[in-house]
C-alpha cells in the first residue's frame, strides 16, 4: 500500500520474476462530478507530489504514463461490457487522509479524475525497465460528494475492474 511498497513489489516482479506486464487494480477517490461511485477509471497518466523515483529524477518532472496497447485494450473491454468508464489523468497521493484541500482543488480544476496511492511509481518503474503498465481503478469514495461505498458493496462492484484488467493483460 502506497508507492514505497509498490516500488518493492514492482521491482521484484520485473527484475526477479521477469514480469513484462503489470496492471494495478484497486480503489480510488472520485475527483470530478461526472465520475460516480462504482465507475471505473483507466489511468492514462499519474501526477504526484513525489514518488520514490524522485531521488533519481531530481529537478526533472518526469510524466508517468500508461502503456498505450494495454490502455487501448482495457478501454475496448470496458466498452464491450457497458461499464461506465473514464479515461484520463489521476493523482497518486502519499497520504489517504489528505491535509491539502488546496492541492485537491487544483487537481480537480485540472481535470484529474481520481486519487489513489500507487500508479505514478508503477508507471515510472515500467518506463525504466521497458515493461507495460496500467492502472484500472474503481471509484470507492468521492472527494466532492463525500459518498463512500459500503464495505460489503466493494466485493460486488470490483468485478468489472478485474475482468477489464484480465482482458487487457491477455489481449
| 46 contacts ligand HPA (rule: CB under 6 A) | no
Instruction: Compute the radius of gyration of the chain from its Cα atoms.
Output: 15
Tell me how crowded residue 149 is: count the other CB atoms within 10 A of its CB.
Answer: 18
Stretch that binds ligand HPA, among 17-25, 26-34, 36-44, 152-160 (CB under 6 A): 26-34
| 117 contacts ligand HPA (rule: CB under 6 A) | yes
Q: What is the dihedral of CA 3, 42, 19, 118, to 10 degrees?
A: 0
Cβ 121 to ligand HPA shortest distance, Å: 14
| 6 contacts ligand HPA (rule: CB under 6 A) | no
Answer for which of 96, 153, 156, 171 binds ligand HPA (CB under 6 A) is: 96
93-126 burial: b if 16+ Cβ within 10 Å, else e: beeeeeeeeeebeebbeeebbbbbbbbbbbbbbb
98 counts as catalytic: no
Q: Minimal CA–CA distance to 50: which of 121, 100, 103?
A: 121
Which candidate in 16, 39, 67, 141 is catalytic? 141
| 140 contacts ligand HPA (rule: CB under 6 A) | yes
Instruction: Confirm if 67 and 24 have CB atoms less than 8 A apart.
Output: no
Of 27 and 48, which has the nearer Cβ to ligand HPA? 27
| 89 contacts ligand HPA (rule: CB under 6 A) | no
Residues lying near ligand HPA in the complex (CB under 6 A) are found at 27-29, 93, 96, 115-117, 140-141
Catalytic residue numbers, as ranges: 141
Amino acid at each position: 500500500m502506497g508507492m514505497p511498497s509498490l516500488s518493492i513489489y514492482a521491482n521484484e516482479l520485473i527484475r526477479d520474476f521477469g514480469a513484462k506486464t503489470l496492471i494495478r487494480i484497486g480503489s480510488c477517490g472520485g475527483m470530478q462530478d461526472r465520475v460516480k461511485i462504482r465507475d471505473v477509471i483507466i489511468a492514462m497518466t499519474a501526477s504526484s507530489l513525489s514518488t520514490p523515483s524522485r531521488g533519481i529524477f531530481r529537478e526533472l518532472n518526469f510524466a508517468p504514463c500508461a502503456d498505450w496497447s494495454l490502455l487501448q485494450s482495457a478501454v475496448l473491454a470496458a466498452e464491450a461490457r457497458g461499464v461506465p468508464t473514464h479515461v484520463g489523468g489521476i493523482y497518486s497521493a502519499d497520504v489517504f487522509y489528505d491535509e491539502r484541500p488546496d492541492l485537491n482543488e487544483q487537481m480537480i480544476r485540472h481535470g484529474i479524475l481520481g486519487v489513489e496511492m500507487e500508479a505514478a511509481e508503477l508507471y515510472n518503474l515500467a518506463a525504466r525497465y521497458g515493461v507495460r503498465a496500467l492502472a484500472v481503478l474503481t471509484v470507492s469514495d468521492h472527494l466532492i460528494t463525500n459518498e463512500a461505498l459500503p464495505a460489503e458493496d466493494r466485493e460486488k462492484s470490483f468485478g468489472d475492474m478485474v475482468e477489464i484488467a484480465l482482458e487487457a493483460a491477455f489481449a
